[in-house]
Amino acid sequence: MSLFGRILVEKRAAVLPIAVAIAGNLAAYGLVVYPMQRRAASGEARVLASQRTERAAARDLAAARAMQTGKLVAEAQMQKFYHQVLPATSADARKAAYLRLAQLAAQSNLQYQRQTAAETPEKDSPLTKLNLTLVLSGSYQDVRRFIRAIELAPEFLIIDNVVLSSRDEPNSALLLTLSVSTYFWTGGNA
């Protein structure tokens, strides 16, 4: 018999409880400890995923709040623009545009030839567009001065189109056909 077999036979009383304890430990590890470790690791992974989700939700919430604040500021600025910058009625818009354009033309040494106006309600908007077409005559420098003055004017005037032509006579004034538009409020008190 081998040395190992002889030790087992002679020390059976001491080896048997050790073998049972080792088998019990292995069974306890396999049936209790290992599954608990797996559940704990799975729980840690869920906690980390939840923390990432929570951080992403906090970022989304902050972005949504910033967007809401930006929207409120934009709406307030639009209301200020509608009620403080734009004319309140068609008559106010015509008066302001005609008067201001006549003043700027006179300051720029341009002569009025003719003018026309048309109103166009904007689709799905509380605004109406006032289109003005002016025909003026003068020198090139006067035309440039006039256009620059319109661009710098505090009134809300938009230059839509500029046509510059000359007459057949030598040294004659240039003919400026200018399309200008502005808007006025027609949406009530919204």
Nearest to 143 by CA among 160, 123, 163, 157: 163
> Which pair of tokens denotes residue 175?
């003919």
pTM here is 0.59
Burial string for 4-35 (b: 16+ CB within 10 Å, else e) reads: eeeeeeeeeeeeeeeeeeeeeeeeeeeeeeee
Q: How confident is the model at residue 188 (pLDDT cuts 50, 70, 90)?
A: low
Q: pLDDT of 136-180, one tens digit each?
A: 999 999 999 999 999 998 888 999 999 998 877 777 788 999 999
State the CATH architecture for 90-185: 2-Layer Sandwich (3.30)
- pLDDT for the residue 87: 83
SS3 of 111, please?
strand
Report CA dihedral (32, 33, 38, 39) to the nearest 10 degrees.
60
Domains of the chain, residue spans: 1-85, 90-185
Mean pLDDT of the chain: 87
The fraction of the chain above a pLDDT of 90, given in percent, is: 38
| DSSP conformation class of 42 | H
- pLDDT for the residue 28: 85
Q: pLDDT of 44-67, one tens digit each?
A: 888 899 999 999 999 999 999 999
Of residues 2 and 179, the one with the higher pLDDT is 179
Nearest to 156 by CA among 101, 119, 112: 101
Q: Which residues pair with 112 in a beta bridge?
A: 136
**How far is residue 61's CA from residue 5's CA, in Å, rounded to a whole number?**
72
- pLDDT for the residue 167: 73
Dihedral pair phi/psi, residue 123, rounded to 5°: -65, 135
